[in-house]
Amino acid sequence: MSALVPLPVPAWLLKQGGRPEAYCHREMLDAVRYLVDNGVKWMAMPVDFPYWRAVYDFFRRWRTYDYVRELYDRLRRAARKRRGRKAEPSAGIIDSQSVDVSETVGEDSRGYDGGKSRDGRKRHILTDSEGLLLEVTVTTADVHDSKAAPALLETFMDQPGRLLKLVWVDSAYQGPALAKAFARHGVRVEVVRRSDGHRGSVVLARRWVVERTLSWLSRSRRLDRDHERRPDHHAAMVWWSAVIRLSRRLAADAPRWPEKRPDRLARARV
């Protein structure tokens, strides 16, 4: 298991100077989750939440230090252990998704995907066999999948404690650079191809898992289109969307009253 990175502690609590923060981190977390899930503008943050500029600074600080990714990694390990699996997966799936961009995205960070007829960016993701997010990177939409996959794999495998040995991909993930990157880390690639003669949408073994994850991410309205000026901000939005989905799953698995807590139900009837 990779070493745990401590989540941020305000400087004033560590006696390092600065004044106490005006808002608690739970309020900040709820505000960012609201923005990602509902797709509002930063300046349109409801008054029930902290001041929008403070929320944006909180989001940017967590993006800079990868705190949101660390939060998701902890939730992912907990979810896998709850299902009786190892904390780190040994198999994964890679896929990508092109999305349109708004006028706030500059010409230097967008491209045209001829295959999907989209002028925007492309998010490349690596998931485990259950669809839990392992890594994400954002490029212009004209970057081929095989060109972005090596950096995606390198970013994930550079973390200590990784156990990845097998990755399922589609036929687009081929080429010497990709094969060299996988071989360097001892990861085997298995291409899942469509059967000859099939037309339209076809459910393919293993690949449907990562496609389902991409559809889960699209439920967050902030990810329907890319509104972020910077690609790393969009990648952070993907991590926040994954946190929302996984935290809801973990909460749903928790013991409930009264169906899953018969002992409390019996005491209530006394």
> Mean pLDDT in the chain?
87
Q: Closest Cα partner for 170 from 135, 143, 133, 145?
A: 145
**For residue 234, which phi and psi values (nearest 5 degrees)?**
-65, -40
- The residue-averaged pLDDT of 34-49 equals 95
Give me the percent of the chain exceeding a pLDDT of 90.
63
Is pLDDT of 141 > 60?
A: yes
pLDDT in tens, 68-112: 999 999 999 999 999 999 999 999 999 999 999 999 898 888 999
| Whole-structure pTM value | 0.85
Q: How far apart are CA 237 and CA 204, in angstroms?
A: 28
More confidently predicted of 113 and 265 = 113
Q: First-to-last CA distance in the chain?
A: 47
Q: What is the pLDDT of residue 8?
A: 64
Q: What is the pLDDT of residue 78?
A: 93
Q: List C-alpha distances in Å: 192 to 95, 148, 180, 233.
A: 12, 19, 20, 31
Helix, strand or coil, per DSSP, at residue 103: coil
Q: What is the pLDDT of residue 2?
A: 42
Is pLDDT of 144 > 90?
A: yes
Q: What is the pLDDT of residue 195?
A: 66
Longest dimension (CA), the chain: 71
**For residue 11, which phi and psi values (nearest 5 degrees)?**
-60, -35
pLDDT in tens, 165-215: 999 998 889 888 888 888 999 999 988 876 665 565 556 668 889 999 999
Q: What is the pLDDT of residue 255?
A: 58
Q: Which two tokens mark 79? A: 């979810």
Q: What is the pLDDT of residue 262?
A: 61
Q: What is the pLDDT of residue 21?
A: 76
Confidence grade of residue 269 (pLDDT, cut at 50, 70, 90): low
Q: List C-alpha distances in Å: 51 to 32, 69, 176.
A: 12, 24, 50
- Residues contacting residue 67 through CB under 8 Å, at least 6 positions apart: 5, 7, 8, 61
Q: What is the pLDDT of residue 175?
A: 84
